Amino acid sequence: MATSVLCCRAFALTMACLLLAVPSLVAQDPSSLSLQYYSKTCPNVEHIVRTEMECAVRADTRNAALMLRLHFHDCFVEGCDGSVLLDDTATMIGEKQADQNVNSLKGFELVDKIKEKLEAECPGAVSCADLLAIAARDAVVLVGGPYWDVPVGRLDAKKASLDLANRDIPTAQQGLLTLISKFWEKGLDATDMVALVGSHTIGFARCENFRDRIYGDFEMTSKYNPASQTYLSKLKEICPLDGGDNNISAMDSHTSAIFDNAYYETLIKGEGLLNSDQEMWSSVVGYSTADTVNKYWADPAAFFKQFSDSMVKMGNITNPAGGEVRKNCRFVNT
């Protein structure tokens, strides 16, 4: 603990960030994202986020999964605009209360911590949406995954949308065609989807999200293989038919703290933890997604390349309504 606190304070910033006067609400065009966006206003932004992420992931590798999922849930609701980070107010119930987020999405304190560091060095410069995009990339790298350059310049939304979060974020119970269409609506194709869902190589799911699966077709998809049956018995201990809704299990049962391609092997063995995971391989309409799963298991470099490209593509979904650079990621500026 002491080491982690110390190392979080240990970075030395060599250049002062300039204060950028950002209009209170400006429109957002995806082409406005660039790699140089903060070169004058916060040249150390990447270093600041990276330092905090290193500390957080060293303290607990789960933090990598939390940040990656936050970015995904941000981007799927009216673009990557930090809307997922907004707290409820007297007049607005935010996305944190959405079915897929409540009791599930975590990492908000880590976001606050990174934001504090950014505000200390570059007040009013770096958006919460960009913070998430950079932190998600660092999260992946820090647990062994690929690096990609993150285009930046996103703006933070002035409002959240509970209804759109409930509508647009995919769920574990949805079938392949619904999942494909949910990604399609965001400009992402089935290949992007199979690559991006490879994120489940890290992190955990709660029993309430995999109960249907383990008491459903798990035995059939894993072909009653004795090793799979042993794994299934363990899952049923963690997740009984009644109760234990918040008990957790890794989605990649072999290397849940390492970003690798082992998740795809679990699908090929028919041992995907979520119904939605297994759909990528076992759905009767999923010839092309099954081929992609095979490819990423056979060729980790191909998976890393497509994952990086698809993360940039997902990260480039902007909110055309534009926004501001929030001072505190939990609240719009007053």
Which residues of the shown chain bind ligand HEM in the complex (CB under 6 A)?
62, 65-66, 68-69, 72, 104, 106, 170-172, 179, 196-197, 199-200, 202-206, 209, 274, 276
Instruction: Give the three-state DSSP class for 144.
Output: coil
Work out the number of other CB atoms within 10 angstroms of the CB of residue 262: 17
Which one, 274 or 290, has the nearer CB to ligand HEM?
274
CA 323 – CA 160 distance, rounded (Å)? 12
* Nearest residue to the partner ligand HEM, using Cβ: 203
State the nearest-atom distance from the C-beta of 143 to ligand HEM, in Å: 10
Q: What are phi and psi of 181, to 5 degrees?
A: -70, -30
**Least distance to ligand HEM from the beta carbon of 165, Å?**
13
111 marked as binding residue: no
Residues 6 or more apart whose Cβ sits within 8 Å of residue 224: none
Residue closer to ligand HEM by CB (options 162, 314) is 314
Q: Round to whole Å and give the CA distance between 274 and 199.
A: 13
Q: How far is the C-alpha of 324 from the C-alpha of 317, rounded, in Å?
A: 16
Smallest separation, CB 287 to ligand HEM (Å): 17
Output 179 or 232, the one with its CB closest to ligand HEM. 179
Amino acid, res. 324 = E
Nearer to ligand HEM, 106 or 305 (CB): 106
Q: DSSP letter string over 197-241?
A: GGGGGSSEEEHHHHHHHHTTTHHHHTTT-HHHHHHHHHHHHHS-S
From 47, 71, 73, 254, active-site residue: 73
| Residue closer to ligand HEM (CB basis): 65 or 165 | 65
Integer Cα distance of 141 and 156 in angstroms? 25
Name which of 48 and 68 has its Cβ closer to ligand HEM. 68
Whether residue 255 is annotated as binding a ligand: the answer is yes
**Residue 200 marked ligand-binding:** yes
> Does residue 79 have a known ligand-binding role?
yes
What is 282-305 written as a DSSP string?
Answer: H-TT-HHHHHHHHHHHH-HHHHHH
Our separate counts of H helices and E strands in the chain read: 15, 2
Examine the residue annotation and report whether 73 is marked as an active-site residue of this protein.
yes
Q: How far apart are CA 41 and CA 177, in angstroms?
A: 44
Cβ atoms of residues 94 and 105 within 8 Å: no
What per-residue string of b and e applies to 279-312 under the rule 16 or more CB within 10 Å gives b? bbbbbeebeebbebbebbbeeeeebbebbbebbb
81 marked as binding residue: yes
* 156 annotated ligand binder: no
Minimum distance of ligand HEM from residue 74's CB (angstroms)? 10
Does 189 belong to an annotated binding site?
no
Which residues sit in the known binding site? 74, 77, 79, 81, 83, 95, 170, 200-201, 252, 255, 260
Which residues sit in the known binding site for substrate? 170
Which residues sit in the known binding site for heme b? 200
Q: Which residues are catalytic?
A: 73
Which residues sit in the known binding site for Ca(2+)? 74, 77, 79, 81, 83, 95, 201, 252, 255, 260
